Structure 1
Amino acid sequence: MPVPRPPLRCGIIGTGGIAHAHAHALTELGADLAAVAEIDPASAEAFTGRFPVPAVYGDAETMLKQERIDLVHICTPPGTHVPLAIAAMRAGVPALVEKPTALSLAEMDELVEVEAETGTPVLTVFQHRYGPAAIRLRRLVASGALGRPLVATCETLWYRDDAYFDIPWRGRWEVEGGGPTMGHGIHQFDLLLSILGPWTEVTAMAARLSRPTNTEDVSMALARFDNGAMATVVNSVVSPRETSRLRFDFEHATVELEHLYGYREADWRFTPAPGHGELADLWSAAGADDPESGHRLQIESVLDAIAAGTAPGVSLAEARRTLEFAAATYASAFQGRPVSAGEITGSDPFNRSMDGGAVPWAPIKETFG
């Protein structure tokens, strides 16, 4: 029987929509939501009307200084993630950061340096890694039961209308980091990478086909992996029938997932290769629990790790690999050539920003009035 976890004191920075998912999870898990920080009083009032919080601060630094917090959740727009995560590390408070962790690989490496200096971890929200079926699939892959991974597809086909980009920080390289590659599809291809392991090369295309945004609204990538597997990755916000799809073809089985924003067991399909029907028993889920792959599963895992004194996920090293895949997608698309893992470093413009100063289309003000 699991040992009960002592209540941990948590804080949230930013009280917009995604903060509500974090607060719901913390409430359900019995954690102590001790404080929030929000620069917009109206947003803070609306949030605390739904989630009673003992202390509300107008800035994160004051909250981190005055409160004893075991974990802080950073739920602000992407451009603020790095300075807030650094402030948390300097205050000795582990941070769980919404994706993307940083706007560039250079920023990510700055986080790595501060983490090494302070010994305080920064974690990234990639909740789809924590669904029971994904955990089971990683275990089967590691065991070798499915044979070698050969072919994979990863599609995030979502729809965001023009009004979605009315929020000032959306669709701008300097404050969001990128389009659906950074802000939407990153969850699916992070799950892909967690299954297939390190990637070696990316060849990609990206375009702004329809939306009033400076970033892309579609990207497509071909990827090769260390283990020899090959994959396609598609990220879109112009697809009216929304879906998120992943497919993995191994030597001995095909494993498929189709969902939208979170999956359950019924969203997966397992097909053994001829002569390997016994593998279906290995795939079958044990137990009656069937949680959705939402924030609660990852937050529960993080809280349990903190309470036990073990390393929680998703670490900066793992999140960096996912962010590097996004950077390679942009670098390949805008330079018209394959990009290898580890290539984007130092003074490379794609190390400093995802657009690399090489976006082939005109800024929004010149094309959309």
Structure 2
Amino acid sequence: MKSFALIGAAGYIAPRHMKAIRETGNELVAAFDPNDSVGIIDSYFPDSDFFTEYERFDRHIDKLRRQGKGVDYVSICSPNYLHDSHMRFALRAGADAICEKPLVLNPWNIDGLAEIERDTGRRINTVLQLRLHPAIIALRERVQTAALDRKVDVDLTYITSRGHWYLRSWKGDDRKAGGIATNIGVHFYDMLHFVFGALQENVVHLHDRTKASGYLEYERARVRWFLSVDVNDVPAAEREKGKRTYRAITADGENIEFSDGFTDLHTRSYEEILAGRGFGLEENRVAIDTVAHIRNAPITNGGEMHPFVRKAL
């Protein structure tokens, strides 16, 4: 049994980590969040210690280490801009880190974390759950075994509508979340790289606080992508059914269905990490480079535009 600490216990994604820790037969011994709306802990680890002050949490983790009871892993579910600091904390506390996406906001942060890994001998792991999805693995195998006489034409559309709270929270602050493409899209860009190989071109057609779109070209694919948190971008036929989310990936016109199991892959991720097969710093580099470029690139008109872009402009 391994012992875990959790940073960001009140967040949306934290229960999936608690569930994964329990389902892999391990123990959550301490959790931290400035927000005390964390009653969900009782459903998984009612005996876990909990702190609302980072300094007290830090002292507690250090005390456990000095008593020979140091935690083995620190799971990080904090706001995006704090990931870098919290991973550094985990490694200096003598633990490995398991960090939610995005690993960091900028690619140069990866280099700094690699230095801390070398200094401490500990490892950073990240949750790139789409790499473990059976449908995505099957697509990758098909692409890799296919003749390379042409590139696959891909359309990626992901609309996950959010209420007014979104832009008032840290998620609406580019300095903290990294922008819409980073906050809701980074794992899709990782998936595209995982399936289709090296990134060769990155063009941005639209980028504002609620939506973004562009064109990516990989070794084996040409990708038009569109991301949004605006319910008005959900196709009218779907909105009439009361749906507020729309997710679609097509490859050469064929729909790639990966909705089933999409939210159940954290336990699989933990199983791989505990077995020493987690995804580390370098596996994240291409996706982080991709979103950093999208965040800072000039807007380009024309070229291979996603069909939803012209409606959004």
- Give the Cα separation in 2 of the matches to 1:134 and 1:229: 14
AA aligned to 2:25 is G
Indicate the residue corresponding to 1:308 in structure 2: none
Indicate if the aligned counterparts of 1:205 and 1:329 stay in contact, CA closer than 8 A.
no
Q: 1:202 to 1:107 in 2, by over 3 A?
A: same
Q: Is the 8 A contact 2:171 2:183 kept in 1?
A: no
TM-superposition CA deviations, 1:306-360 (whole Å, max 9, x none): xxxxx421x111112101111122333358899xxxxxxxxxxxxxxxxxxxxxx
Distance 1:229 1:134, change over 3 A: closer
- Deviations along 1:69-128, whole A, 9 cap, x unmatched? 222100111121111101112223111111111122232332223223333221222212
Query: What is the match of residue 192 of structure 1?
Result: 192
**2:42 equivalent to 1:49:** yes
Gap regions ≥5 residues in structure 1: 1-6, 209-215, 265-290, 306-310, 339-369
- State the aligned residue count: 280
1:295 corresponds to: 266
For the pair 1:318 / 2:312, whether they are aligned, the reply is no
CA distance in 1, matches of 2:5, 2:302: 44
2:109 to 95, 107, 110: 107
Task: Indicate conservation of the 8 Å contact 2:205/2:300, yes or no.
Answer: no
| Matched residue, 1:61 | 58
Is 2:143–2:220's contact at 8 Å kept on the other side of the alignment? no
Identity %: 24
- Are residues 1:23 and 2:24 paired? no
Match of 1:158 in 2: 160
Q: Does 1:35 find its partner at 2:26?
A: no
Give 2:4's aligned residue: 10
| 1:367 matched residue in structure 2 | none
1:222 aligns with 2:215: yes
Question: How many Å apart are 1:247 and its aligned residue?
Answer: 2.4
TM-score (norm 1): 0.69
Q: Which letter does structure 2 place at the counterpart of 1:300?
A: E
Q: 1:258 to 1:138 in 2, by over 3 A?
A: closer
For 2:101, the aligned partner's letter is K
Mapped contact 2:74–2:95 kept (Cα < 8 A): yes
Task: Give the whole-Å Cα distance in 2 for the aligned partners of 1:36 and 1:30.
Answer: 18
Per the alignment, in what secondary structure is the counterpart of residue 39 of structure 1? coil
Counterpart residue number, 2:171: 170
**SS in structure 1 at match of 2:179:** coil
Distance in 1, Cα, partners of 2:78 & 2:92 = 19
Q: Cα deviation per residue 1:208-246 (whole Å; 9 max; x = unaligned)? A: 3xxxxxxx3111121122x25311121111133422222
Deviation at 1:293, TM superposition (A): 4.5
Match of 2:240 in 1: none
Q: Can you list the C-alpha shifts for 1:12-46, whole angstroms capped at 9, x where unaligned?
A: 11211311111012222222222222334x234x2
1:136 to 1:258, Cα distance in 2 relative to 1, 3 A: closer
Shift of 1:292: 5.6
Deviation track 1:237-259 (CA, whole Å, cap 9, x = no partner) reads 1133422222234xxxx753245
Q: TM-score, normalised by structure 2?
A: 0.80
